[in-house]
Amino acid sequence: MPKRSAQARWEGTLQQGKGTIALGSGAFEGSYSFATRFGDAPGTNPEELIGAAHAGCFSMALSMLLEKAGHPPKEIRTQAEVTIDKVGDGFKITRIDLTTQAEVPGITAEAFQKQAEAAKEGCPVSQALAGTSINLKAELKNL
């Protein structure tokens, strides 16, 4: 199986420093800082990248499960909201809320929910983040 990589560079102190994050594939490189992570400054942050990875992984896992169940999806859209909180002397990702909407011909709402829950539990990113509360809101609809 392939290995994937990413790199980060940080210069300076925690609050005044700055850095860059880059994907090994070259598909993305962005700046990050204390202000992009804990404030509203432009740039990215590790939690945003975790959210993107989780939304992408979940959507692919759900697509696979729906296809195996005989209901290939037309479209799946997933948003991941990652919450970081101060816990004790540090910070912790305490919660990830996945919200997905999918157009899946011929499936019942109950069967769709079952597949969505299975995707949440089975996607590799969910498994890697198992120490974090992961909540799912799945909606079957025509997009």
Say if pTM beats, i.e. exceeds, 0.85: yes
Residue at 134 is within a domain: yes
Q: Find the DSSP H helices in 1-128.
A: 34-38, 46-68, 109-122, 124-128
Q: What is the model's pLDDT at position 73?
A: 97
Note whether 73 and 110 are same-domain residues.
Answer: yes
Neighbours of 84 (CB within 10 A): 16
Note whether 88 and 108 are same-domain residues.
Answer: yes
- CA 80 vs. chain centroid, Å, equals 5
Note whether 28 and 96 are same-domain residues.
Answer: no
Note whether 23 and 89 are same-domain residues.
Answer: no
Closest CA to 100 of 76, 127, 129: 76
Q: What is the model's pLDDT at position 141?
A: 86
Number of domains in the chain: 2
Note whether 18 and 77 are same-domain residues.
Answer: no
Q: In CATH, what number is assigned to the domain containing residue 80?
A: 3.30.300.20
Closest CA to 74 of 97, 111, 101: 101
The tens-digit pLDDT sequence of the chain (143 residues) is: 889 999 999 999 999 999 999 999 999 999 999 999 999 999 999 999 999 999 999 999 999 999 999 999 999 999 999 999 999 999 999 999 999 999 999 999 999 999 999 999 999 999 999 999 999 999 998 65
Residue 65 backbone phi and psi in degrees, to 5? -65, -40
Taking the C-alpha atoms of residue 16 and residue 59, their distance in angstroms, rounded to an integer, is 37
Q: Which residues pair with 85 in a beta bridge?
A: 92
Note whether 65 and 11 are same-domain residues.
Answer: no
Residue at 1 is within a domain: no
Range 127-131, long-range pairs (CB < 8 A, 24+ positions): 129/50, 129/54, 129/93, 129/96
Taking the C-alpha atoms of residue 27 and residue 57, their distance in angstroms, rounded to an integer, is 17
Note whether 71 and 23 are same-domain residues.
Answer: no
Note whether 78 and 99 are same-domain residues.
Answer: yes
Residues spanned by the domain of 31? 6-38
